Amino acid sequence: MSLTGTPFFLTSLLLLVVAIVLPLALWSRIAGPRLVRGTVRLLMLLFAQATAITLVFVLVNNANNLYDTWDDLLGTGSHIEAAQDLGPDGLGGRQISAEPRRAQAFHPADDPVVGPGVQMTELQGRISGVSGEVYVWLPPQYHDPAYRTKKFPVVELLPGYPGSAKSWLGTLAAGRQLQPLMERGEIKPFILVAPRTNIYQGADTGCVNIPGKVNADSWLTVDVRQMVINTFRAEDHADSWALAGYSAGAHCATRLALAHPDRYHAAVGMSGYNDPAGEATSLAGKDPKLRIESNPLHELREANLAGRPPRTALFLSGASGDGYEAGLGLQREARRPTTVTVQHISKNAGGHTSAVWREQVPEIFRWLSHQVRS
């Protein structure tokens, strides 16, 4: 049973009702020695407390899409079939152009929380060795006969950690917010792609490749990206691709865009950080070498020193102490053609919460419409 589905919520609610009714109905009717009566009453109270805590967890989880499954919650699920050393480019010596173009089969999303029109698939990553669900939302123009020969720009949406692939389309309501803006021509008609990022047992990957452990970078920037190009009328040039993320997803979006300017032109990060150790469970943050190499500040400095500042546009927002300073650091380091726009969010806006990020969705896509080619 899904942790975010209506059945689990109703089951939790029913159990709480039972836990409240039981003591009211049976408290004075329990027979037997004092020890037995006391034990039964204690168990009923513990049951009531456990069901109350469960219901609170379900409400919080449904509101923020933190965990999809029991495996996600318990850290027992594995989405990694192999983790070979794929080298600096994350391709392992293979050429994407030489790989067979194979359209992926999609079906309507099985959870109404993501909103109407969302499709999903289970993708087996041919390069990364990672498998997981990918959600796709198509813009209203996609099925318009006037656009039947047109290709569309793409934004990959990355949640925080823990976080579900449903978060952007569910909790942040990205599709429902953006559809009327696209219909009125206020923003470009983007294809939205929301892949699973919680792929390693009990830890945040930091969206890096670690031979023998996980190839999270290649999963997002090679397998997912190429699958979308093969399956939908999506542009394949980097100028038409962007990433957007919040919290740990903001770190990933920024890092991946700077690391792969041949795949993405722009990135949005809300309430992010540069040092991967900003997420306590980050695999990259726990490795001294990777902690340096996967820091966007380091990536940008190294590119500048090599005389190859990436042609990347970044939009970074956050409150003081929650992403703002990280954005300023990258802005100071940027050299043309790299551009960094930093927006300060008031601490009174709501903190490090989905409500704050949901409010920013229309604005960041207006910005992306000026950065991404279609």
Average pLDDT, whole number, for the chain? 93
Residue-level pLDDT at 304: 97
- Among the listed ranges 7-16, 208-217, 333-342, which one has the minimum average pLDDT value? 7-16
pTM above 0.85, yes or no: yes
State the DSSP string of 104-123: PP-EE-S-GGG-TTEEEEEE
- Asked if residues 271 and 247 have their Cβ atoms less than 8 Å apart, the reply is yes
pLDDT in tens, 301-341: 999 999 999 999 999 999 999 999 999 999 999 999 999 99
pLDDT in tens, 28-72: 888 888 898 889 889 988 988 898 888 888 777 666 667 777 766
CATH superfamily of 76-371: Alpha/Beta hydrolase fold, catalytic domain (3.40.50.1820)
- State the Cα–Cα distance between residues 226 and 228, nearest whole angstrom: 5
Residue-level pLDDT at 13: 84
- State the Cα–Cα distance between residues 132 and 136, nearest whole angstrom: 13
Q: Regarding predicted confidence, which is higher, 82 or 188?
A: 188
Pairing of β 107-108 and β 209-210: unpaired
How buried is 175 (Cβ within 10 angstroms: 0-12 exposed, 13-18 middle, 19+ buried)? buried
pLDDT in tens, 282-297: 999 999 999 999 999 9
User: Which residues is 207 bridged to in the sheet?
Assistant: none
- State the Cα–Cα distance between residues 32 and 240, nearest whole angstrom: 74
Mean pLDDT of 153-179: 96
Q: Regarding predicted confidence, which is higher, 3 or 153?
A: 153
pLDDT in tens, 169-185: 999 999 999 999 999 99
- Asked if residues 83 and 211 have their Cβ atoms less than 8 Å apart, the reply is yes
Give residue 150's Cα distance to chain centre. 27
User: Which residue in the block uniquely carries the two structure tokens 């919040």?
Assistant: 246
Where do the structural domains in the chain lie, given as residue ranges?
6-56, 76-371
Is the pLDDT confidence value at 300 over 90? yes
- Among the listed ranges 25-29, 200-204, 323-327, which one has the minimum average pLDDT value? 25-29
Is the pLDDT confidence value at 1 over 80? no
Residue-level pLDDT at 73: 67
Q: Read off the DSSP letter of residue 211.
A: T
Going by pLDDT thresholds of 50, 70 and 90, the confidence category of residue 157 is very high
Mean pLDDT of 122-149: 97
